[in-house]
Amino acid sequence: MSVTPNNRGPKKIRRPQQRLENDGVIAREAPQYEESSIIQNEPIQEERKQPVNRIGLRVVSSNVNQEEVKEEENSVVEHRIYCVECGIGIATQEEFLNHLFSCRAQAVQNNINNQIIAKAKVEDASKYEIEKKRIWFRENLTKLRVSILEDSITIVISRDNVLEETLNQFSTVDNLDLHKDIKIFFIDEEARDVGGVIREWISIITLEILKPETKVFEVVNNGEDTFYTIHPEATYEMCHFAGQIFGKAIFEGAPLDGRLSKLLLMKLMLKEPTLEDLKYYDEQLYKSISYLFNDGVNAADLCMNFTILDNGKTVELKQDGENTELTDANKDEYALLVVEYYTFRRVETQTVAFVESFLNIIPHDTISIFTIDELDQVLFGLKEIDIEDWKENTFYKGKYMENSDHKTIKWFWEIISSLSNNEKRKFLQFCTGSRSLPIEGFKGLKGQKKQNCKFSIESVSCKKTQFLRAHTCFNSLELPTYETKKEVETAIRYVLDQKEFYFGLE
């Protein structure tokens, strides 16, 4: 097994190769080394091709190697059969045909239904319930995707400088079309990106963009919720880049980590905010302006004009605003100008850059079917991790398939349940490449080729490894058959203590 250490030595750019296996995220203590950028601290087993029978079921041997089989008392070489449609393990050869035919028939029917939904006109789709709207949205985005057989974009970057290097490489691509697939390669890390690596890249880069020191977004608090809106000091270049990243994330079906303010969502939908919407920017400012419309209030008595004070600077809301007195006759105009200034004018150049680059990837028609609240859910998914939903949408492999009440599985869920929501989200990122869930929850997790791919837990012998290993492209976790709850907790805690995860190949 190859491991990428945290304190890496000389940088070596590993160019994309033809024969790369599935990506795996490894949480493991990294040993010191001299020249090699990849440490071989375990024997590399020869690649074993997994037989695939001609009707679509992958047969996976439950035993890791022959030595392990000999050492384990009463071990039996068994075969596990997993349905390529839903990922559920089939216990016997006799049962798999009925399951496969039923599963594929359901998949075909679902596809027909989705195509019917997708053919609806925009005005009709806007009347759908949220689930049908989501299907319409995703199906119509799929039509925009450029086949990887036609063209794709390859980006080779350092994990230590993801934001700047991605920005630089975007700028070198002529006629950048983010409807094409992007293949991400991290320097000194080996992984074949079939979904997991790009989710990891999106998660890292959006968190970097949202950092206060980047000055692309500023935080807006609305009650207990935190949202992001355009920073007045943001540059045109960075806002254009942020729009590309957010648009690409949505195009790939990767929920974003930070929620945009409803005012910025309204700009994406090309809707103009009203006085009521000002509360999403600043609750106190909204109350102050609303006071003008209270019964018994005479605007002229307030001795105000058409100017406001913004960060110590006097700003005229209209031409000659300093000499225009506020009265009951013009207070409606004043309120609208205040709303326009705080929601658009003060960040006009930056907002235009963000909105235009976003809509170049996600056309306005596709999001116009949603309400603001629905769009918020579709773009940013679920932030609270529901353990029961996680359990219900998990399937097991190896010994855990034989016994889903296995003691190690029981301990695993007990420990995961005890974590804080932020810790659960970090562990989710380790397993899937993303800290957030789609609006459908765990049943909406995607894998290779953007197909639904449930979370899975596979048993591995402690003789093979004492560490957790995840395959983010397949939302899969390898969980050793630990003998004590303390061992399970230690392994999970080790993952949570890592500042970053690295990809490696076996």
Active site positions, annotated = 473
Distance CA 394, CA 442 (A): 8
Nearest of 384, 159, 357, 343 to residue 242 by alpha carbon: 357
For residue 32, give Cα distances in angstroms to 76, 187, 466, 504, 506.
39, 18, 19, 16, 19
- State whether the Cα torsion 95-97-99-100 is positive or negative: positive
Q: What's the residue count for the chain? A: 506
Number of helices followed by number of strands (H, E) in the chain: 18, 17
Nearest of 300, 301, 303, 275 to residue 289 by alpha carbon: 275
| Residues 6+ positions from 226 with CB-CB distance below 8 Å | 219, 220, 259
Distance CA 166, CA 244 (A): 11
Nearest of 293, 341, 351, 299 to residue 317 by alpha carbon: 341
Other CB atoms within 10 A of residue 441 CB: 17
Distance CA 117, CA 136 (A): 6
- DSSP secondary structure string for all residues of 472-501: GGGTEEEEE--SSHHHHHHHHHHHHH-S--
Q: What phi and psi, each to the nearest 5 degrees, are found at residue 309? A: -105, 115
Instruction: Using CB atoms within 10 Å of the CB of residue 170, give its burial: 0 to 12 exposed, 13 to 18 middle, 19+ buried.
Output: middle
- State whether the Cα torsion 337-343-347-349 is positive or negative: negative
Angle between helices 283-290 and 331-343 (to 10 degrees): 170
Nearest of 96, 27, 8 to residue 468 by alpha carbon: 27
Q: What phi and psi, each to the nearest 5 degrees, are found at residue 260? A: -75, 150
Dig out the tokens for 13 from the structure: 């750019």
The helix or strand, by DSSP H or E, that contains position 309, with its residue range, turns out to be: strand 307-310
Dig out the tokens for 378 from the structure: 């579709």
Bridge partners (DSSP) of residue 437 are 382
